[in-house]
Amino acid sequence: MLHEQLNEVGVEVEYGMEVVEYFEDAARGRAGVVLNDGSRREADLVVAADGVRGNSWPLIAGKPVPARSSGDAIFRVAFPVELASSDPQVAERFRMLEDGRSVFELWTGPGMHASFWRNQDQMHWSITHPDHGTAAESWSHVVSPEQVLNYTATVPGWPEIADRVIRITPSDQLVDWKLMWRDPQPTWTSPSGLVVQLGDAAHTFLPSSGNGGTQAMEDAISLASCIAMAGSKDRVPEATRIHNLLRFERVSCLQAFGVVNQARHNTEVAGKPKPPHLGRWIVEHDPEEYVRQNYEVAVAHLKDGAPFRNTNTPPGLVYTPWTIDGLLNAQQRGERTVLDGDWD
Ligand SMILES: Cc1cc2nc3c(=O)[nH]c(=O)nc-3n(C[C@H](O)[C@H](O)[C@H](O)COP(=O)(O)OP(=O)(O)OC[C@H]3O[C@@H](n4cnc5c(N)ncnc54)[C@H](O)[C@@H]3O)c2cc1C
């Protein structure tokens, strides 16, 4: 979809280009990237959307801000649904619904969650597990289904149907993915506002938030909306800073939400783990409309210090900065944290 849209508006995509450095030239109102072959590309605005290991931190923060291991990893794979259907029990359990919709099952338990789903073409599953140093951040770090079965054998009450799916998984496609994270970083823009980080490059997520990809897309919509509101090239720095102001607290809450959902997996209600919750403030948010409603007042806030408060966070929440270690420690001590508030 993205590629089609880029074609439509005449944007050329160059593949196989590795960005090694970002730069900006405030006097000329230009920003750019240096590629690994030494060549440079320039533009009026550079969006650094190069994921968790992005190279824009030296320009944005003045130093590298590396992500670190979260202590967890995730087994994940997708394979042709015909293969999955070769086991009649799997075929029956993961039948497409009568109205043609796909089937998704999410199981949670102490310290873990597992998703199994199928659509028209593919069977897909993922299981979080503690990382004992064997996982890697690589799509080519393949493990065998037997290794996963060794792990699921240690999980009390683990469903037999899940093991059946694991057994028929192709042995060369199963990835053990190391989950990385970074404390929330409030500034996503370069000093002159001509480079802006977006998606995982700006904010890391645990899969238990179910929101990393969603927030990357919300970022994109918000940024485009801010640029449209700014209306001219010379206001690009204003647009990126307003985007940052409108997005940071919401995204930071959703990062913390991954931590709270992870903790909920360990909490039982009537003998069952509490399901992850998804509040209205998350699913009913319209980032385009939010920019339309808040852009001008946010500009007044940045320019003249006029009062401004984000409303795209949990209702009633007064945002307080947090770090992952601080959050986990405070939770253990039963203290108030950013997670207190109406998250439903
Ligand atoms: C196991 C797992 C489960 C997840 N589940 C969910 C979920 O259920 N829901 C959800 O919303 N999100 C989920 N996410 C998160 C989601 O996948 C990410 O948040 C999302 O992909 C981030 O998008 P992005 O475009 O910012 O970064 P990426 O998808 O990481 O894209 C970055 C791109 O930049 C390229 N790149 C990197 N470095 C360079 C460089 N130096 N030069 C040029 N290009 C470069 C990369 O090749 C890549 O194409 C999950 C993530 C994981 C790991």
Q: Name the active-site residue from 30, 40, 53, 76.
A: 76
By three-state DSSP, how is residue 136 classified? strand
- Cα(98) to centroid of ligand 1, in Å? 33
Pocket test for ligand 1, best of 20, 200, 208, 223 (most atoms within 8 A of CB): 200
- How far, in Å, CA of 119 to CA of 102, rounded? 5
Q: What is the pLDDT of residues 207-251, one digit of tens each?
A: 778 899 999 999 999 999 999 999 999 999 999 999 999 999 999
* Structural domains present in the chain: 68-180 (3.30.9.30), 183-191+203-333 (no CATH)
72 pLDDT band, cuts 50/70/90, is: confident
Q: What pLDDT, on a 0 to 100 scale, did the predictor assign at position 276?
A: 59
* 3-class DSSP state of 274: coil
**Residue 117 to residues 84, 92, 208, Cα–Cα distance (Å):** 11, 13, 16
- Our CA angle for 92, 97, 99, nearest 5°, is 155
Q: Strands 195-197, 46-48: parallel, antiparallel or unpaired by DSSP?
A: parallel
At 117 the pLDDT is 95
User: Which residue minimizes the CA distance to atom 43 of ligand 1?
Assistant: 18
The answer on pLDDT for 340 being more than 80 is no
pLDDT, residue 91, reads 95
Nearest to 111 by CA among 82, 69, 79, 74: 74
Which pLDDT band, with edges at 50, 70 and 90, does 264 fall under?
Answer: low
The model's pLDDT over 279-318, given as tens digits with 9 standing for 90+, comes to 889 999 999 999 999 999 999 999 999 999 999 998 888 8
Is pLDDT of 124 > 90?
Answer: yes
CA distance 147 to 145: 5
**pLDDT above 70 (res 268):** no
pLDDT score at 139: 67
Question: What pLDDT, on a 0 to 100 scale, did the predictor assign at position 109?
Answer: 78
The answer on pLDDT for 137 being more than 80 is no
Q: Who's near 219: CB < 8 A, 6+ residues apart?
A: 198, 199, 202, 243, 247, 251, 287
Angle at 169 between CA 164 and CA 175, to 5 degrees: 125
The confidence score (pLDDT) of residue 275 equals 58
Q: Name the residue of 15, 50, 251 whose CB sits within 8 Å of the most ligand 1 atoms, as the mutation to test its pocket.
A: 50
Buried b / exposed e across 242-278, counting CB within 10 Å, b at 16+? Answer: bbbbbbbbbbbbbbbbbbbbbbbbeeeeeeebeebee
Judged against a pLDDT cut of 60, whether residue 269 lies above it is answered with no
Catalytic (active site) residue 292: no
73-117: pLDDT as tens digits: 999 999 999 999 999 999 999 999 999 999 999 888 777 889 999
**Amino acid, single-letter form, for residue 269:** V
> What is the pLDDT, as a whole number, of residue 265?
52
The pLDDT value recorded for residue 187 is 98
In a 10 Å sphere around its CB, with 0-12 CB exposed, 13-18 middle and 19+ buried, how is residue 66 labelled? exposed
Q: Whose CA is nearest to atom 16 of ligand 1?
A: 213
Mean pLDDT of 164-187: 93
Contact partners, residue 51, CB within 8 Å, separation at least 6: 199, 200, 201
Dihedral pair phi/psi, residue 118, rounded to 5°: -135, 150
Q: Are 254 and 211 in contact (CB under 8 A)?
A: yes
Q: What number of other Cβ atoms are within 10 A of residue 84's Cβ?
A: 22
Instruction: Return mean pLDDT, the chain.
Output: 90
CA dist., res. 337 & res. 310, Å (int): 18
Give the Cβ contact number of residue 344 at 10 Å.
10
Q: Give me ligand 1 centre to Cα 29, in Å.
A: 29
Q: Hey, whose CA ends up nearest to atom 17 of ligand 1? A: 213
Q: How far is the CA of 51 from the centre of ligand 1 (A)?
A: 5
- Rounded alpha-carbon distances, angstroms, from residue 174 to 144, 189, 260: 7, 37, 28
pLDDT of residue 17: 95
CB under 6 Å to ligand 1: residues? 18-19, 49-51, 55, 74, 76, 126, 177, 199-201, 205, 207, 210-214, 216
